[in-house]
Amino acid sequence: MKKRILHIITRSDWAGGQKVLYTIVYGLKKNYSDKFEVEVAAGRENGMLFEELDKIGVKYHVVENLVREIDPIKDLKAYFEIKRLIKQGNYDIVHAHSSKAGFLARIAAKKCGVKKVIYTYHGFWGIEQYRGFKKQLLIWAERFAARYSDHLVFLCNREKEKAERYRIGKPSKYVIIPNAILPIGNIQKGKLRRELGIPENVKIVGNVARLDRPKNPVRFLQVAERVVQEMDDVIFVWIGGSIVEDFYAKQVQQYLDERPWLKEKVKILGFRKDAIELMADFDVFLLTSDEEGFGLVILEAMSLGKIVVSTRCGGPEDIIEDKINGFLTGFDYKEIATKINFILENFESIKQKIGQAAVERAKDFKIDNQVEGYVRLYKKG
């Protein structure tokens, strides 16, 4: 008899956590449909995840009151919605993602007698963005929810070490399963250059990320400003918009408004579903994050043979070998700008050395390995 699995996440948009959930579900549907019957639940916000699930024939459920913001009334309603869904679905396994859904679903699942409850951490920014009492309260909430978990999954060693430091759950429950990306087809270059009118002799330094605090878009702008003051034949492109709040989008706009000359050298495109096609035109991929649980977009860039430069922000350090298949830097924008200048000045020789090594490294993170890791957990007694 097939085991029934419910994956649940707070929002139904198309960010990193949702892509990870989708990749796992895609792999289960493709290779393990004889062993598992998988369904997904999420809040209504955005809905792009639901569109992708429709395409592969995976059933999903809308949890009407499940929202990212803390709202005691909605949160209580969401808890009972989730509990009702789990009872009706008679699931053998509940696999939760993201803080809010992870907290509510783990408790609801155990209260409903679900035999196996799994939670995947997609980073600790939800806790670490705060200080003082609020941070301690969130750590306590994670400790409490961990009691209702059979397995706690981390994307990299650094995240596991944080859980140990915060005393979240028992180490015997810890598992590391790195992310993976779906195979990328034969993508033709030129789409981004045509759209923005960028000639071939101009290098493109780009990022694909949300405009929010952990991604630090202002640092990206600071690097761009410093680089273009020394080099004329380069354009910086940020692909991604605000998903949760507009504060950082406004901050980016203010930064550019105060430096109108920089608008010719920096392009902010907003969210694009065709981001990977546009990324094909990047010469350098630049990640300026403060914190990354893993960084799926780094794997996508490496699989395209891009020169990746990333801050030492967590997950990327488990992917990139500095100066072998990419570059790791500190958080100071001046240091990053110096690195970008060096790469652009020596582009052809660095591209030849780093590009193929990046492609080979990306192959280590196969979807089959990721899904098999979760299947082992699902089958575990």
pLDDT band at 130 (very low <50, low <70, confident <90, very high): confident
Mean pLDDT confidence for 29-57 = 94
**Average pLDDT score over residue span 49-60:** 96
Q: Which amino acid is at 7?
A: H
For 190, counting Cβ atoms within 10 Å of its Cβ (0-12 exposed, 13-18 middle, 19+ buried), the class is exposed
Cα separations in angstroms, 201 against 28, 43, 381: 44, 45, 58
Identify the band that residue 101 occupies on the pLDDT scale cut at 50, 70 and 90. Answer: very high
Q: Do residues 163 and 175 make contact, with C-beta atoms less than 8 angstroms apart? A: no
Average pLDDT over residues 179-185: 84
pLDDT tier for residue 3 given thresholds of 50, 70 and 90: very high
Spell out a b/e string for 13-41, using b for 16 or more CB atoms within 10 Å of the CB, else e: bbbbbbbbbbbbbbbbbeebeeebbbbbb
Terminal CA-CA length for the chain: 16
Would you state the structure tokens that stand for residue 13, as one six-digit string?
């948009």
Mind listing the pLDDT tens digit for each residue in 220-260?
Answer: 999 999 999 999 999 999 999 876 567 888 899 999 999 99
The token pair at 379 is 């089958």
Q: Which of 42-46, 106-110, 277-281, 371-375 has the lowest mean pLDDT?
A: 42-46
The confidence score (pLDDT) of residue 244 equals 58
What average pLDDT does the segment 142-151 reach? 97
Q: What is the mean pLDDT of residues 274-283?
A: 95
The span from the CA of 240 to the CA of 236, in Å, is 13
Neighbouring-strand partners of residue 62? 42
The rounded distance, in Å, linking the Cα atoms of 282 and 41 is 35
The maximal CA–CA distance of the chain, rounded, in angstroms, is: 65
Rg, Å, the chain Cα set: 21
Residues 6+ apart with CB under 8 A from 126: 99, 138
For residue 68, pLDDT over 90 is answered with no
What is the structure's pLDDT at 245?
Answer: 61
Between 174-178, 217-221, 294-298, 349-353, the lowest mean confidence (pLDDT) is in: 294-298
Q: What are the two backbone dihedrals, phi and then psi, of residue 354, each rounded to the nearest 5 degrees?
A: -85, -40
Asked if 291 and 313 count as a contact pair (C-beta separation under 8 A), the reply is yes
pLDDT at 22: 95
pLDDT band at 137, cuts 50/70/90? very high
SS3 string, the chain, reads: CCEEEEEEECCCCCCHHHHHHHHHHHHHHHHCCCCEEEEEEECCCCCHHHHHHHHCCCCEEECCCCCCCCCHHHHHHHHHHHHHHHHHHCCCEEEEECHHHHHHHHHHHHHCCCCEEEEECCCCHHHHCCCHHHHHHHHHHHHHHHCCCCEEEECCHHHHHHHHHCCCCCHHHEEECCCCCCCCCCCCCCHHHHHHCCCCCCEEEEEECCCCHHHCHHHHHHHHHHHHCCCCCEEEEEEECCCCCCHHHHHHHHHHHCCHHHHHCEEEEECCCCHHHHHCCCCEEEECCCCECCCHHHHHHHHCCCEEEEECCECHHHHCCECCCEEEECCCHHHHHHHHHHHHHCHHHHHHHHHHHHHHHHCCCCHHHHHHHHHHHHHCC
Asked if residue 371 lies in contact with residue 28, where contact means CB atoms within 8 angstroms, the answer is yes
Question: How many residues are given for the chain?
Answer: 381
State whether the Cα torsion 10-11-15-21 is positive or negative. positive
Mean pLDDT throughout 45-55?
92
What's the gap between Cα 365 and its chain centre? 15
The pTM (predicted TM-score) of the whole model is: 0.85
